[in-house]
């Protein structure tokens, strides 16, 4: 419980005691002086609601008149003016009880997201002048070496240069199984070191690190409001002044037209104001989305704003990249064919050409070569987007890439009909041979496609730059019927434009990629989802939603969370507005009093908030 909540609770308890003591005293002493009675109830009123009156006056001074503090002040002060002292205090007391409960609910909902904020490292142990000193993570430079002991949080992204250990990644991924790391393995900031002492060579400054980008994402999530939240904000903006005007008219017009005293109608108008307080809507709707975002964060799905969470419920088309999304991206060389029969030389030339690339295919080629590469032999390396690599190795000019590259260079290449990615190699226009590399389908991929179909997705499409034969194989295994292969990055965007035209109504198109080379497509989709956000800057920056693990099945889970959250939001809107309208009508006709009104208002708020808190529970999805 926060300090502010404790202060409010103490105020409620003390004010409540004074209030009930005043009621008992007036019952025991019916001849009690009216001024003393007024002073007793005023004391209880200001103990309980002094802060509300203060806020209302301050807001009026700032030009913000029509808010819930103003409504409470007018209604309760009015009750005192017509002689209903106990009711005036009771309205304020139960309003504060409702606010306390609301604060507790919001605080609990925020904790689910605030848990992510615990990934922020407090310090880094860095080697300087042959000793280890403790510094702020922001002061550590690239290429410096840091020491991380068991129980400490990894402060910066880097590569393990000494030791091995287990890392707890739950705060980032939602996964309880530790990740084993050793020499030359990449580690990311935000994880907790569990067992061994490790040394890490820093590869990114703190402001560019994974933890920094995730913290920025979480901190800004609340600023991107959903259509429902924007509707409620606009609704409250016009609703509150309208009910105040209606209350004034209710207090003045009937007694003027019908005749009789003003006191009864003023009482009805004050009751009308108490009921009209829109806090049930204004709080429960954002709370529902906040809970949904927090619940998703617990299972390793980071959603950048409630607008994206809401949009997920309207998904009609899901477009998925293949490599790194549906397949593991762990490529292995399974065939080397050299025209001259020297497979070792072919593998060596290919590994040298791919030396500077960190693409999974390049890594697999270097691993297959298995020897140290003398980069002094590399005179020139040029990446040819969507085609391959051009490199000058010693005196030899080598081209390594796909069939498009061979055709572009006028090379007559060998057609290869086998599952996997084929890398062709040529020296200028002389064909040297090919290397085939196979990629495994993720264990989770089939479950993911089944989950999307069960969620009612109308169309699932796979886009890939890989060969048609490989794409068709993966699609058949997973049950995907719409496949587009051999696409350049620009082709993917063009295909995306065509698919966007197929949507109907408010339907949304979701693109799922590995976040490494899909930034243009992620940005063009209605909702971009990046897979495997761990260590992927492009994933965190370009996508609207980041799956922090390599499990595509979490996409369907995110959609379920979205639909559940939206269902709760609609329930709260219908319930709150329905009850408000009903009791407002009863109040206008004098069929309810202020006691019933305050219970109806606080009751509606409590029920709506309890319902909103259900959005945090994702274990049953």
Could you tell me if 591 and 267 are in contact, meaning their C-beta atoms sit under 8 angstroms apart? no
Could you tell me if 210 and 175 are in contact, meaning their C-beta atoms sit under 8 angstroms apart? no
Q: What is the DSSP letter of 616?
A: G
**By CB neighbour count within 10 A (0-12 exposed, 13-18 middle, 19+ buried), where does 410 fall?**
exposed
Q: Give CA 605 to chain center in angstroms.
A: 26
* DSSP strands (E only) in 19-144: 124-128, 131-135
Q: Is 133 helix (H, G, I), strand (E, B) or coil?
A: strand
Q: What is the DSSP letter of 175?
A: -
Q: What is the DSSP letter of 621?
A: -
Could you tell me if 2 and 103 are in contact, meaning their C-beta atoms sit under 8 angstroms apart? yes
List Cβ neighbours of 455 (8 Å cut-off, separation of 6 or more): 315, 556, 559, 560, 563
Q: For residue 91, which of 612, 595, 613 has the smallest C-alpha distance?
A: 595
| Sign of the torsion formed by the C-alpha atoms of 461, 463, 469 and 474 | negative
Q: Is 543 helix (H, G, I), strand (E, B) or coil?
A: coil
Could you tell me if 337 and 434 are in contact, meaning their C-beta atoms sit under 8 angstroms apart? yes
Q: For residue 525, which of 511, 539, 543, 542 has the smallest C-alpha distance?
A: 511
Could you tell me if 281 and 608 are in contact, meaning their C-beta atoms sit under 8 angstroms apart? yes
d(CA 323, CA 458): 23
List Cβ neighbours of 302 (8 Å cut-off, separation of 6 or more): 116, 214, 217, 218, 296, 533, 545, 546, 548
d(CA 37, CA 22): 7
Got the DSSP string for 309-359?
Answer: HHHHTTEEEEEEESBTTTB----EEEEEEETTS-HHHHHHHHHHHTTT--S
d(CA 159, CA 171): 20
d(CA 440, CA 394): 35
Could you tell me if 191 and 168 are in contact, meaning their C-beta atoms sit under 8 angstroms apart? yes
d(CA 289, CA 302): 13
The set of catalytic residues is 321
List Cβ neighbours of 590 (8 Å cut-off, separation of 6 or more): 264, 268
Q: For residue 544, which of 558, 530, 565, 563 has the smallest C-alpha distance?
A: 530
Q: Is 248 helix (H, G, I), strand (E, B) or coil?
A: helix
Q: Name the pairing type of β-strands 165-168 and 179-181.
A: antiparallel
List Cβ neighbours of 236 (8 Å cut-off, separation of 6 or more): 278, 281, 282
238: tokens are: 């016009």
């Amino acid at each position: 419980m926060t300090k502010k909540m404790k202060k409010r609770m103490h105020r409620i308890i003390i004010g409540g005691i004074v209030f009930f003591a005043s009621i008992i005293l007036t019952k025991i002493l019916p001849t009690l002086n009216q001024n003393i009675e007024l002073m007793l109830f005023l004391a209880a009123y200001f103990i309980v609601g002094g802060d509300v009156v203060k806020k209302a006056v301050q807001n009026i001074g700032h030009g913000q008149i029509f808010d819930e503090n103003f409504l409470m002040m007018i209604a309760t002060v009015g009750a005192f003016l017509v002689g209903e002292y106990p009711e005036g205090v009771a309205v304020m007391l139960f309003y504060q009880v409702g606010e306390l409960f609301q604060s507790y609910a919001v605080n609990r909902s925020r904790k689910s997201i605030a848990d992510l904020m615990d990934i922020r490292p407090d310090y880094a142990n860095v080697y300087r002048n042959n000793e280890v000193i403790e510094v702020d993570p922001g002061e550590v430079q690239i290429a410096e070496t840091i020491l991380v002991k068991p129980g400490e949080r990894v402060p910066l992204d880097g590569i393990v240069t000494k030791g091995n250990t287990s890392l707890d990644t739950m705060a980032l991924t939602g996964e309880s199984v530790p990740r084993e790391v050793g020499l030359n393995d990449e580690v990311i900031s935000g994880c907790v070191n569990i067992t061994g002492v490790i040394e890490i060579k820093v590869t990114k400054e703190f402001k560019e690190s994974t933890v920094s980008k995730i913290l920025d994402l979480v901190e800004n999530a609340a600023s991107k409001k959903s259509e429902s939240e924007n509707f409620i904000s606009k609704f409250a903006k016009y609703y509150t002044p309208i009910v105040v005007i209606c209350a004034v008219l209710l207090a003045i017009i009937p007694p003027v037209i019908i005749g009789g005293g003003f006191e009864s109608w003023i009482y009805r108008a004050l009751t009308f104001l108490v009921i009209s307080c829109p806090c049930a809507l204004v709080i429960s709707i954002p709370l529902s989305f906040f809970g949904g975002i927090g619940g998703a964060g617990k299972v390793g799905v980071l959603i950048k704003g409630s607008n994206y969470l809401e949009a997920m419920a309207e998904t009609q088309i899901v477009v998925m990249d293949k490599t790194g999304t549906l397949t593991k991206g762990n490529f292995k060389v399974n065939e080397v064919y050299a025209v001259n029969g020297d497979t070792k030389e072919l593998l060596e030339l290919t590994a040298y050409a791919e030396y500077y690339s960190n693409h999974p295919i390049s890594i697999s080629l270097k691993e297959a070569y298995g020897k140290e590469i003398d980069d002094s032999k590399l005179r020139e390396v040029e990446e040819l987007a969507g085609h391959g690599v051009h490199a000058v190795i010693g005196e030899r000019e080598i081209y390594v890439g796909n069939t498009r590259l061979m055709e572009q260079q006028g090379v007559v290449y060998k057609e290869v009909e086998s599952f996997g990615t084929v890398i062709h190699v040529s020296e200028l226009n002389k064909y040297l041979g090919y290397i085939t590399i196979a990629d495994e389908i993720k264990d989770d991929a089939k479950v993911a496609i089944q989950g999307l179909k069960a969620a009612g997705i109308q169309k699932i499409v796979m886009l890939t730059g890989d060969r048609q034969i490989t794409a068709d194989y993966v699609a058949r295994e997973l049950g995907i019927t719409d496949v587009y292969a051999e696409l350049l990055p620009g082709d993917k965007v063009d295909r995306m434009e065509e698919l966007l035209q197929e949507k109907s109504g408010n339907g949304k198109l979701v693109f799922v990629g590995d976040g490494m080379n899909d930034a243009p497509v992620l940005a063009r989709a209605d909702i971009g989802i990046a897979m495997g956000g761990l260590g992927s800057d492009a994933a965190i920056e370009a996508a609207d939603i980041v799956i922090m693990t390599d499990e595509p099945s979490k996409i369907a889970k995110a959609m379920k969370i979205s639909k559940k959250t939206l269902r709760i939001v609609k329930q709260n809107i219908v319930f709150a507005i329905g009850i408000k309208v009903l009791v407002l009508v009863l109040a206008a006709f004098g069929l309810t009093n202020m006691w019933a009104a305050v219970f109806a208002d606080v009751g509606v708020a409590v029920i709506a908030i309890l319902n909103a808190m259900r959005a945090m529970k994702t274990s049953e999805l």
